[in-house]
Amino acid sequence: MIILDGKKTSADLKSEIAESVKLIKSQGKKTPHLAAVLVGTDGASMTYVGAKVKACELVGFESTLIDLPEETTEEKLLQEIENLNNNDSIDGFIVQLPLPKHIDEQKVLMAVNPDKDVDGFHPTNVGKMTLDLPSFLPATPYGILELLERYEVETSGKHVVVIGRSHIVGRPMSILMSQKRKAGNATVTVAHSRTKNLKELTLQADIIVAALGIAEFLTGDMVKDDVVVIDVGITRVDDATKKRGYKLAGDVHFESVSKKASFITPVPGGVGPMTIAMLLKNTLLACENKE
Ligand code: GUN
């Protein structure tokens, strides 16, 4: 069993990006600049945005954090987005999700200039991705493709079962892996909360992408020998033995599934760090596109 080490792979990627930044700077070109908009004080979102800003510093990017209170109106948020769209020093930006309930998420994502949409969530970029045209790929699926490629996991002709149909992970993952690409050419099944006999499907799967958000959902009895398992879940589970009062659990019961797997991502240290690295990669691309 081989661990797909997202921590190490993302560190490699970040070194590569840092090299590109050095070169850009030495040529007197513009330093890539990522902005992140955070609305409210959700603990997980604050952690993620903090990690994104820190990663920018590490590779030599400029970063801007726009921290707005929970009660921010939709109008005010749309105004902030318009400012970022018009700000030439910003190459790309993200609006951290989820947003407070009084804000229409779709309206907000539609307001982002597709050329600065480094999350790849705007319908223009989703459409381009679906048609296999150059676009910003959403960071989590992009990170999974990168891990599969770098570990030379064979995907061509394999049966991939994606559990979860979210716009951020499950849906784009299923589209990308069915396309003609290096970590692609797979036969993909998308399973979700209404799927009947899920275990029958997972037992047939050569590769499973678990992205449903239920801690330790996928267990050893649900997978066949030599399966490749990608765990996208990251749920805070109460744990009194931990100083912070919780532990991070994936969607995969690692102990039982890893006994059968050929490759598996851990949580933490698997998909999570890759997501951040790919966001940086998209920002570099946004900066280069502008040049
Ligand atoms: N919330 C969970 N994942 C993501 C992501 O990839 N981007 C943004 N903006 N918000 C998220």
Query: Which domain CATH number covers 145?
Result: 3.40.50.720
Confirm or reject: Cβ of 24 under 6 Å from ligand 1.
Answer: no
User: Residues 228, 159, 165, 139: what is their CA dihedral angle, to the nearest 10 degrees?
Assistant: 50
Domain count, the chain: 2
Ligand 1 site-directed mutation target among 38, 53, 95, 97, most atoms within 8 Å of CB: 97
In a domain, 164, yes or no: yes
φ, ψ of residue 120 to 5 degrees: the values are 70, 30
Percent of the chain with pLDDT strictly greater than 70: 100
Specify whether 100 is located in the same domain as 54: yes
Percent of the chain with pLDDT strictly greater than 90: 99
**Residue whose C-alpha is closest to residue 286's, from 131, 87, 83, 12:** 87
Q: How confident is the model at residue 290 (pLDDT cuts 50, 70, 90)?
A: confident
Q: How confident is the model at residue 291 (pLDDT cuts 50, 70, 90)?
A: confident
Specify whether 102 is located in the same domain as 169: no
The active-site residue out of 14, 52, 116, 281 is 52
Specify whether 100 is located in the same domain as 188: no
In a domain, 9, yes or no: no
Specify whether 149 is located in the same domain as 98: no
Against a cut of 0.95, is the pTM above it?
Answer: yes
Query: 26 pairs with which residues across the strands?
Result: none
The active-site residue out of 119, 206, 231, 251 is 119
Beta strand extents in the chain (DSSP E only): 2-3, 33-39, 62-68, 92-95, 159-163, 187-191, 207-210, 228-231, 235-238, 246-249, 263-264
In a domain, 161, yes or no: yes
Specify whether 104 is located in the same domain as 149: no
For residue 68, what is the domain's CATH number? 3.40.50.10860
> How far apart are alpha carbons 190 and 174 in whole angstroms?
7
Specify whether 147 is located in the same domain as 253: yes
166 is in an annotated binding site: yes
Confirm or reject: Cβ of 119 under 6 Å from ligand 1.
Answer: yes
Is 96 an active-site residue? yes
Is 119 an active-site residue? yes
Domain that includes residue 82, residue range = 27-113
Ligand 1 nearest-atom number relative to CA 94: 9
In a domain, 180, yes or no: yes
Q: Tens of pLDDT along 27-50?
A: 999 999 999 999 999 999 999 999
The average confidence (pLDDT) of the chain is 97
In a domain, 103, yes or no: yes
Specify whether 202 is located in the same domain as 247: yes
Ligand 1 site-directed mutation target among 34, 84, 93, 94, most atoms within 8 Å of CB: 94
Specify whether 147 is located in the same domain as 103: no
Specify whether 218 is located in the same domain as 259: yes
Residue 285, pLDDT above cutoff 90: yes
Specify whether 108 is located in the same domain as 168: no
Backbone torsion region of residue 274, taken as left when φ is above 0, otherwise alpha when ψ lies between -120 and 50, otherwise beta? alpha
**Which SS3 state, helix, strand or coil, does residue 263 take?**
strand
165 is in an annotated binding site: yes
Helices 43-59 and 271-290: crossing angle in degrees, nearest 10, is 50
In a domain, 206, yes or no: yes
Specify whether 104 is located in the same domain as 170: no
Specify whether 143 is located in the same domain as 196: yes
Whether residue 141 has a cis bond before it, omega within 30° of 0? no
pLDDT given at position 56: 98
In a domain, 130, yes or no: no
Cα angle 109, 115, 117 (rounded to 5 degrees) comes to 35
Separation of 211 CA from ligand 1 center, angstroms? Answer: 13
Q: What value does the mean pLDDT take over residues 158-168? A: 98
Cβ within 8 Å of residue 167, ≥6 positions away: 121, 126
In a domain, 15, yes or no: no
